[in-house]
Amino acid sequence: MTTAAIVVASGRSLRFGGDVPKLVVPWRGRPLVAWTLRALEACPEVDDVVLVASGEVASAAAGSAAAKLVGVVPGGDTRQASVAAGLAALPARADLVLVHDGARPFVSPGLVARVVRAAREAGAAVPVLPVVDTLKRVAADESPARDTILETVPREALARAQTPQGFRRGVLEAAAAFAAETGLGATDDMAMVEALRAAGRLPAGTRLVTVPGEASNVKVTTPADLPAVVIETRVGLGHDVHPLERGRRFVLGGVDLQPGAADEERFGPAGHSDGDALAHALCDALLSAAGKDDIGATFPDTDPAHRGRASLDFVREVAGGLRADGWSVLNVSGVVRLERPRVLPFVPALREALGRALGCGPDRIGLSAKRGEGLGPVGEGRAVEADVVALIGRET
């Protein structure tokens, strides 16, 4: 006794406004069809999944690493034909079949369990929701009378059908064969079984039942149906200053500001590491935003392991730690104060280097180069100073 799900994802729904099928539109980093497959992966009652899809949707599914996916078959021109194609590709061991819309990615394991239980017991089950809006019967043709109300339809005896719809395999196979034979044109799987019942050909002991659906199990038809992604943001501030000494390489943001200079011409920041004030201020901004210990506590200068390390390595390590906690860098904005060498010509290279270390594009790095106007240690050419703010974000 195993359960297989047929996921119908062959509709040519371009209602998202673009020219790609809506099921390959990415949402939170994955195509919609991959979310649907993932939802079924999480259901212990589902053993195998057959996807009815072709083209881009089939390729997106192939890349989704869904372990229960045992087959991908092209669909037909109608839903009925697509379900028949899925049925033909079912593993022999399946005795219960779920048919699910590819565009319902938010189905819960609880809902699937209810449908499976009811379908095993009754033979055919659909999840339904009550109708909450008042229903009006209107003129059904294209004429101007379309805006004419004919009557109010009592809603107490009506329900909205969702998927997955669950069936004993024999029941669905008989219903699909009957629908094909009679050219039924059903847009809903249970409707095929209803037609079989109306013809008096329902297998003995079969009942058509409902189970409670879920409001969150929406059928995605427009972008507005997708839940908004909420991003938590945090800001952090970092500062650093290093005195300048003869004979030191001048590294700033991982970039050598005196490329090709002879050793005796070199005049750069003193410090335990390479004295990279911009990298240090950036690390502190990121650590501060994430509520972590600052650079001095994270990479203590008493630890010989950090001696002589390139400070851009610290930036990479800090950014990696943030990523592991789900954070990504939204943007970084820094000010470097230095008399000489002039920083301005290096700004594009600095933005590239920092962007690479952070795993974001240089368009997320803003940097201004200032001089000291003769004031203080920076103005006197004795120090380099950097201030950085960083904004990080993650989905909640």
Question: Given the complex with Mg ion, which of 189 and 276 has the nearer CB atom?
Answer: 276
Output the smallest distance, CB 277 to Mg ion, in A: 6
| CA–CA gap between residue 267 and residue 214 (Å, rounded) | 68
* Dihedral sign of CA atoms 355, 358, 364, 370 in order: negative
387 binds Mg ion (CB under 5 A): no
Output the smallest distance, CB 271 to Mg ion, in A: 6
CB distance 232 to 396 below 8 Å: yes
Question: Given the complex with Mg ion, which of 73 and 251 has the nearer CB atom?
Answer: 251
CB distance 359 to 348 below 8 Å: no
Output the smallest distance, CB 308 to Mg ion, in A: 14
Dihedral angle computed from the Cα positions of residues 16, 97, 108 and 58, in that order, rounded to the nearest 10 degrees: -40
Output the smallest distance, CB 312 to Mg ion, in A: 13
Stretch that binds Mg ion, among 96-104, 212-220, 244-252, 277-285 (CB under 5 A): 277-285
Output the smallest distance, CB 318 to Mg ion, in A: 14
Question: Given the complex with Mg ion, which of 79 and 280 has the nearer CB atom?
Answer: 280
Q: Give how far Cα 392 sits from Cα of 62, 253, 347, Å.
A: 33, 19, 22
- Kindly give the pairing relationship between strand 328-337 and strand 365-370: parallel
| CA–CA gap between residue 30 and residue 356 (Å, rounded) | 24
Point out the residue whose Cβ comes nearest to Mg ion: 280
Question: Given the complex with Mg ion, which of 347 and 383 has the nearer CB atom?
Answer: 383
Output the smallest distance, CB 283 to Mg ion, in A: 9
Which tokens is 137 given?
Answer: 């019967």
Q: DSSP assignment of 128-154, as one string?
A: EEE--S-EEEE--SSSGGGG-EEEEEP
Question: Given the complex with Mg ion, which of 86 and 275 has the nearer CB atom?
Answer: 275
CB distance 247 to 270 below 8 Å: no
Output the smallest distance, CB 241 to Mg ion, in A: 8
Binding mask 308-347 for Mg ion (x = CB under 5 A): ----------------------------------------
Output the smallest distance, CB 295 to Mg ion, in A: 7
Residue carrying the six token digits 């069809």: 33
Question: Given the complex with Mg ion, which of 189 and 240 has the nearer CB atom?
Answer: 240
Site for Mg ion in 110-129 (CB under 5 A): none
> Total residues contacting Mg ion (rule CB under 5 A)?
2
Question: Given the complex with Mg ion, which of 104 and 280 has the nearer CB atom?
Answer: 280
* Dihedral sign of CA atoms 128, 197, 191, 189 in order: positive
Site for Mg ion in 120-179 (CB under 5 A): none
| Amino acid identity for residue 382 in this structure | R
Among 114, 168, 248, 280, binds Mg ion (CB under 5 A): 280
Name the nearest CA neighbour of 336 among 378, 376, 369. Answer: 369
| CA–CA gap between residue 362 and residue 353 (Å, rounded) | 8
| CA–CA gap between residue 250 and residue 212 (Å, rounded) | 68
Question: Given the complex with Mg ion, which of 195 and 310 has the nearer CB atom?
Answer: 310
Question: Given the complex with Mg ion, which of 240 and 385 has the nearer CB atom?
Answer: 240
Binding mask 215-244 for Mg ion (x = CB under 5 A): -------------------------x----
Residue carrying the six token digits 């050598």: 256
Output the smallest distance, CB 298 to Mg ion, in A: 12
Q: Using CB under 5 A as the criterion, which residues of the chain lie in contact with Mg ion when the complex forms? A: 240, 280
